[in-house]
Amino acid sequence: MTATLTSARAKGPVPPLALFDTDALLEPEERDIAATVRRFVDTALRPNIADWFESATLPKELARAFGKLGLLGMHLDGYGCAGTNAVSYGLACLELEAGDSGFRSFVSVQGSLSMYSIHRYGSEEQKQQWLPRLAAGEAIGCFGLTEPDFGSNPGGMRTRARRDGSDWILDGTKMWITNGGFADVATVWARTEDGVRGFVVPAGTPGFTAHNISRKLSLRASVTSELVLDGVRLPASAELPAARGLSAPLSCLNEARFGIVFGALGAARDSLETTIEYTRQREVFDRPLSSYQLTQEKLANMTLELGKGVLLALHLGRLKDREGVHPEQISLGKLNNVREALAIARECRTLLGASGITLEYPALRHANNLESVLTYEGTSEMHLLSIGKALTGHAAFRA
């Protein structure tokens, strides 16, 4: 992620994370993966992100570029997936989100929601049909759980699946679905007589349509859609055979939230590194802005929170790679790291002054994106209550 403190000092001012020597906590392969993704972001994505954000565009062909790099489903085994450890996946998410949250969202939804749902709960036929194509970026996937009136309470979903002979008929609406507008396949969750079940729904199935959501102020370089299912007929083989109950989609969300624990820190790091460089060059009253005490206080406080967030993310990653990580621990990571990343991006904007409201600098773009990251895949309030339940044994979000 950055150089060691000793080597960095020899070159002048040190990068924020060098003060924590976080690279010393990584294995060589993990450092190599992070460096490879960072180079890709710097060369292929960063030069275009301002234009994509302004035009509310995410080129579909990026899927193949992500696939070629091995980013799609990289923490899964087999079927063309890279099979890396959780920390490597987290570091890739961090580097992607240093470019833009839209990039990490795409990779996260593809790998940790669409692919993971099929990998863990699908039949062998479903895995063979979809996972190699999704891993290569030859197909794009999405995950249909959230509904217009049911975000934090997915158990209240109104989408229904009913039997008609050996087939299933699905009716309902899903909302705020990342990748939905250009997805080739959707994992859709619906209520049946026997509880919540998951279904693999190919794009183009009669009655299944996607409508992109426009006029967004956040995650503009990302496709966000409404999915409509109107009498969608699916064969019995479309059901995810191992998915039983709401715990199945929630386990998928936990995979995606893990990526956010790391990813949000990328947006924070990018904002902070850019701002430090700006304050060193910007002169105020004939002195560099970085030479003032109030500026240094802001930079020091932001560096402290960034480093603490990275240490927390790495700890959770090591837990996940060893014995597994619990949902309430993921809640700790997402709540803290997204909240602090958003605060860092906002504070960086103040140091950038008027220049900070333009797309020439990334801080406000990151802050706008993090407003969405703060509430999707579990709002801060729900993560607070998840932690509270673990501490007290009482589920405060249920009457």
DSSP string for 96-164: HHHH-HHHHHHHHIIIIIIIHHHHHHS-HHHHHHHHHHHHHTSS-EEEE--BTTBSS-GGG---EEEEE
Nearest residue to 231 (alpha-carbon basis) of 202, 246, 209: 209
Alpha-carbon distance 236 to 256, whole Å? 28
Question: Tell me, what's the pLDDT at 1?
Answer: 63
pLDDT, tens digit (0-9, with 9 covering 90-100), for 131-183? 999 999 999 999 999 988 877 777 788 999 999 999 999 999 999 999 999 99
Helix (H) or strand (E) holding 304: helix 293-322
Q: Report yes or no: 263 and 107 within 8 Å, Cβ to Cβ.
A: no
pLDDT for 91-109, tens place per residue?
Answer: 999 999 999 999 999 999 9
Cα separation, 61 vs 94, whole angstroms: 21
What pLDDT is attached to residue 157?
A: 86
Average pLDDT over residues 361-372: 97
Beta-carbon neighbour count of residue 207 at 10 Å?
15
Q: What number is the average pLDDT over the span 267-294?
A: 96
Between CA 195 and CA 27 the distance in angstroms is 43
Q: At what angle do helices 327-352 and 247-281 cross, to 10 degrees?
A: 20
For residues 6-14, average pLDDT: 70
* Whole-angstrom distance, CA of residue 180 vs CA of residue 227: 7
Token representation of residue 176: 């705020």
Burial of 64 (0-12, 13-18, 19+ CB in 10 A): middle
Q: Which of 208, 187, 353 is nearest to 255 (CA)?
A: 187
- The answer to whether 377 is a known catalytic residue is yes
Q: How confident is the model at residue 323 (pLDDT cuts 50, 70, 90)?
A: confident
Which of 268, 270, 271, 291 lies closest to 279 in space, CA to CA? 291
Please give the Cα distance from 7 to 14 (Å, whole number): 9
Structure tokens at 399: 């009457």
Residue among 95, 340, 371, 377 flagged as catalytic: 377
Query: Which whole number is the average pLDDT over 233-262?
Result: 94
pLDDT at residue number 92: 97
More confident residue, 65 or 151: 65
| 152 φ, ψ (degrees, to nearest 5) | -70, -20
Q: What is the mean pLDDT of the chain?
A: 94
The two tokens of residue 91 are 């570091």
pLDDT score, position 377? 85
What's the pLDDT band for 8 if we cut at 50, 70, 90? low
Instruction: Answer yes or no: is pLDDT of 2 > 60.
Output: no
* Alpha-carbon gap, residue 234 to 355, rounded angstroms: 53
6 vs 369, residue with greater confidence? 369
Of 150-164, 336-350, 379-393, the poorest mean pLDDT is in 150-164
Residue among 35, 33, 2 nearest 17 (CA): 2
